[in-house]
Chain A
Amino acid sequence: AQRVTQPEKLLSVFKGAPVELKCNYSYSGSPELFWYVQYSRQRLQLLLRHISRESIKGFTADLNKGETSFHLKKPFAQEEDSAMYYCASGAGNTGKLIFGQGTTLQVKP
């Protein structure tokens, strides 16, 4: 069965420090991986898709099939990055996503 694991419930860093939010997935096929972000009192928003290989708000994520990981990284955290981050996996182009439990990123001044 498809599963997404985010091992950290909370990650707290100081402004300007590097950030890495971990995500591991289990799926026998070729999944499509996403990162969603939820700022306080706002809707869940798409941040990154692995197929796009894009950088949004300074965040990047690389799919590592050998380690079955899709970690989210940013070299210099900003206070406005404080939010809840969810990693999600989709398979078979079905529009059904499996989400991890989420990691709260807290960026301290």
Chain B
Amino acid sequence: DAGVTQSPTHLIKTRGQQVTLRCSPKSGHDTVSWYQQALGQGPQFIFQYYEEEERQRGNFPDRFSGHQFPNYSSELNVNALLLGDSALYLCASSLPAGGNTIYFGEGSWLTVV
């Protein structure tokens, strides 16, 4: 049973560019959440997708957007990248019927130069 998978694992972008990160949830999971983990910090909730819609959102600007596909996979898009967007981006999935028990992928390391 594959867990949560994310791609790419590492990438480097230039300030002002746009980036798309991808996530496939754990088998049987229909809810996907994205977190940002800056160096030395705990993960911070960006947003959550369920039934292809954004269900809730953390305190992140509109430059951060996402999408969920019918197969429950998800994308995180960040526009107009800033140096401060450099972080580990974590995808997490959870079972139908919600619940707070979530499972994380290995993350995508984004470096903005």
Contact = CB atoms under 8 A, between A and B. Distances in A.
Contact of B48 (A4, A49, A95): A95
B20 interface: no
A42 B44 CA distance: 18
B19 interface: no
A95 B43 contact: no
Contacts of A57: none
Q: Bin the interface of chain A by size.
A: 20 to 34
B33 A96 contact: yes
A91 to B, nearest CB: 8
Contact of B104 (A43, A96, A100): A43
B104 A44 contact: yes
B42 A96 contact: no
A32 B102 CA distance: 12
A101 interface: yes
Contact of A43 (B41, B42, B45, B107): B107
List the 4 closest pairs (A to B, CB-CB), nearest first. A90-B100, A99-B42, A44-B104, A43-B106
Interface of A: 4, 6, 32, 34, 36, 42-46, 49, 86, 88, 90-91, 93-102
